[in-house]
Amino acid sequence: MKVMNQPRQPAAIQEAPYQSRQLESRATTGEPTRVCDSCIRKKAKLQATKGDQPAFVASSEEKLARREPHATRQASSVEQRPLFRPFLEPYARPISESSPQTSDNGQSPAQYEISTQQEEYLLDQYFEIAQDANPIFSKANFLDKYRNSLCNEGLISVMVTITAKLIGYKLFPEECVLNTRIDLLLGSSLLEDDIVGDSPSLDQFRKACMLALYDFHQFPGHQSWMRIGRLTRMAYRIGLDRLEPLRAMCPDWGCLSKEDIEEWRSVWWCIYRLDSYSNLSSGTPYLIDNSFVNTSLLLDACELNGESSPLTLYLPGDSEHLWKLLPTITSNLETRMKNIHIISISAMRQAGLVAGIRLLRPQEEIASHLVKFERHLSALCLALPHGWFNPGRNAFTNESPLDHHARLITVFHLRMARLLSSIVACSRTQDDGWMSSWQQVLETCQDIAHIAGQWNSSFCIQVDPAICFIIFTALIFLDLHMKSTGTASPELLSTIDHDKTVLRLQLDQFARIWTLPRLLSLSFAGFSESVSGPLSHRQITLILSRFEAPLHPRWLGFLSTAQATLAAFQ
């Protein structure tokens, strides 16, 4: 794979390596007011002379070493784990000849080692902080394999590196070594390069999922979006979208244990979430079509152990029948939260579909889709357990703080689905119904702010930070309401201002950890400062017509130049 290393170009979409140190400094300044790849990476190009080998391209010996049969790897890995292990995989190479390959004390990243105690501590921390955001492991199964030296070294390296970065653990004397290590992992770890034939390992997919999630939130832009797309297509290629029939048709899959199949199932639903977030936020078509998914929702331990007959549940092709799954899902306490999480994401996906076609179909067709979706969403919300939408913790039912915040994530999803449908309704209405739709936009944004008001910032590192684009969207439309000529009540203005403050503070909490919310916060600040009110009905309608998706480049570009555009619509 080629790696580029030249000065940054002004193009909106860049091909570039990861520059984490520059990223952190840029995100704390007032420079950018919108999200684009040039905010995140420098464009670079490696000038290789004859005989040079491009960065990250392994030699034939290295490729053979990392692609040896699983049985051989397993047999050789059962040896006693050393007290120290080299931190870099043998095929990870420096980013470029011009990149800093040594620290201030003259050591390269490859010369650093971590102790077994450090590794075990960071793996334990991973399950404390990241399992909700990326639930692709059975902790007990993973730790059992780890203690028997049966885990993929590349996977362990990714888990340890990302965990150390997120929790601020000083793994090396100098932080630049850890940043360089992350750059190397992101630049050299492409799933399709690790797979030979049609028999990828579970750990290879887990590693790819972790890097895709980290890349999307820490280096948002074209490359991270493409990484998720490649991962999704690889999942299709090996059949993760149809695990149930695959077990009956293919001996290689049929011989796997129920526990292993369940872990593959978790990987598939992780990819489903990544496909949803990346494409919904970008306004691009989903790669996964619910109508053709033949992998069931998650099963519990009793069903896997044969203590009860497995009850397979499948996502319906559209949102009409989502609510029918809830009675069965909510009756299983072990998998309830994870499966409702999938259901709420599916509802949000459907809202994104309606929003995506509003500029492509006749108004009558859009109106029909919108009415159907709103009915389906109402049925889904009513089918959820009593108190599900309570922003506070359900103390009378002994709800734990962790379960409380996991529940709030699903409520964020459902409120975002409602907000998207309200925006579509408002942008298409030109009659007396416009004010009613515009009011529903305000109502839903306030609902999102009420959820944020109950947020405990200590959970920002444990949940999927993709909810930040929901917070960002609510912030934009609350700001528009505050500057609308129809918002005249001082009490209402005060309430909206408070809601904006709450959402901004929540976004800032996520921004302490992730880059995406930092850039979204800058984008909102630039928009809010540049657009002054009051805004007329005509100007509001123009803004609504420009909305395509929270992170769509055209929408973000419009936000950065909104004042000049709106001036022509006085």
Q: How far apart are CA 221 and CA 369, in angstroms?
A: 30
Dihedral sign from CA coordinates of 318, 322, 328, 333: positive
Give the pLDDT of residue 16.
36
Give the pLDDT of residue 407.
95
Q: Report, in angstroms and rounded to the nearest whole number, the Rg of the chain calculated over CA atoms.
A: 24
Q: Which of 38-47, 138-147, 353-362, 434-443 has the lowest mean pLDDT?
A: 38-47
| CA torsion, ordered 399, 402, 406, 409, to nearest 10 deg | 110
Q: Which of 32-36, 73-77, 429-433 has the lowest mean pLDDT?
A: 73-77
Give the pLDDT of residue 199.
62
- Per-residue HEC secondary structure of 488-544 comes to CCHHHHHHHHHHHHHHHHHHHHHHCCCHHHHHHHHHHHHHHHHCCCCECHHHHHHHH
Q: How far apart are CA 374 and CA 372, in angstroms?
A: 6
Q: In sequence order, what DSSP letters do the residues of 439-466 get, joined into one string?
A: HHHHHHHHHHHHHHTT--GGGTTTS-GG
Q: Is residue 271 pLDDT above 90, yes or no?
A: yes
Q: Is residue 422 pLDDT above 90, yes or no?
A: yes
**Residue count of the chain:** 570
Digit-coded pLDDT (tens) for 176-196? 888 999 999 998 756 666 555
Q: Which of 22-36, 114-128, 241-255, 496-510 has the lowest mean pLDDT?
A: 22-36
Reported as half-sphere exposure (CB side, CA atoms, 13 A), residue 306 has a value of 2
Output phi, psi for 564, to 5 deg: -65, -40
- The residue ranges of every structural domain in the chain are 113-279, 296-428, 440-569
Q: How far apart are CA 450 and CA 502, in angstroms?
A: 8
pLDDT average, residue stretch 356-375:
86
Q: Would you say 414 and 348 are in contact if contact means Cβ atoms under 8 Å apart? A: yes
Q: In sequence order, what DSSP letters do the residues of 311-350 get, joined into one string?
A: ------SSGGGGGGGHHHHHT-TTTHHHHHHHHHHHHHHH
Give the pLDDT of residue 162.
94
At what angle are helices 20-27 and 515-530 packed, to 10 degrees?
30
pLDDT average, residue stretch 350-372:
87
| CA torsion, ordered 111, 117, 118, 121, to nearest 10 deg | 160
**What percent of the chain has a predicted confidence (pLDDT) above 70?**
74
At 382, the pLDDT band (50, 70, 90 cuts) reads very high
Give the pLDDT of residue 353.
92
Q: Which residues is 427 bridged to in the sheet?
A: none
Give the pLDDT of residue 193.
62
Tokens (6 digits) for 283:
């306004």
> CA-based angle 215:220:221, to the nearest 5?
115
Mean of pLDDT over the chain: 79
Q: Is residue 75 pLDDT above 80, yes or no?
A: no
What amino acid occupies position 429? T
DSSP assignment letter at 81: P
257: left (phi over 0), alpha (psi -120 to 50) or beta: beta
Q: How far apart are CA 51 and CA 333, in angstroms?
A: 60
Q: Is residue 441 pLDDT above 60, yes or no?
A: yes
Q: Is residue 143 pLDDT above 80, yes or no?
A: yes
Give the pLDDT of residue 310.
65
Digit-coded pLDDT (tens) for 484-510? 877 678 899 999 999 999 999 999 999
Q: Would you say 65 and 90 are in contact if contact means Cβ atoms under 8 Å apart? A: yes
Q: In sequence order, what DSSP letters do the residues of 117-138 get, joined into one string?
A: HHHHHHHHHHHHHTTTTS----
Give the pLDDT of residue 311.
74
pLDDT average, residue stretch 320-349:
93
Q: How far apart are CA 45 and CA 15, in angstroms?
A: 9
Digit-coded pLDDT (tens) for 294-319? 999 988 766 665 555 567 899 998 88
The residue with greater pLDDT, 106 or 419, is: 419
At 108, the pLDDT band (50, 70, 90 cuts) reads low
Give the pLDDT of residue 309.
58
Q: How far apart are CA 561 and CA 480, in angstroms?
A: 15
Among 131-140, 219-228, 527-536, top mean pLDDT goes to: 219-228
Q: How far apart are CA 232 and CA 471, in angstroms?
A: 26
Q: How far apart are CA 33 and CA 27, in angstroms?
A: 10
Q: How far apart are CA 558 and CA 565, in angstroms?
A: 8
Give the pLDDT of residue 85.
37
Q: In sequence order, what DSSP letters do the residues of 40-74 get, joined into one string?
A: H----B--PPTT---TT---HHHHHHHTS-HHHHH
Q: Is residue 114 pLDDT above 70, yes or no?
A: yes
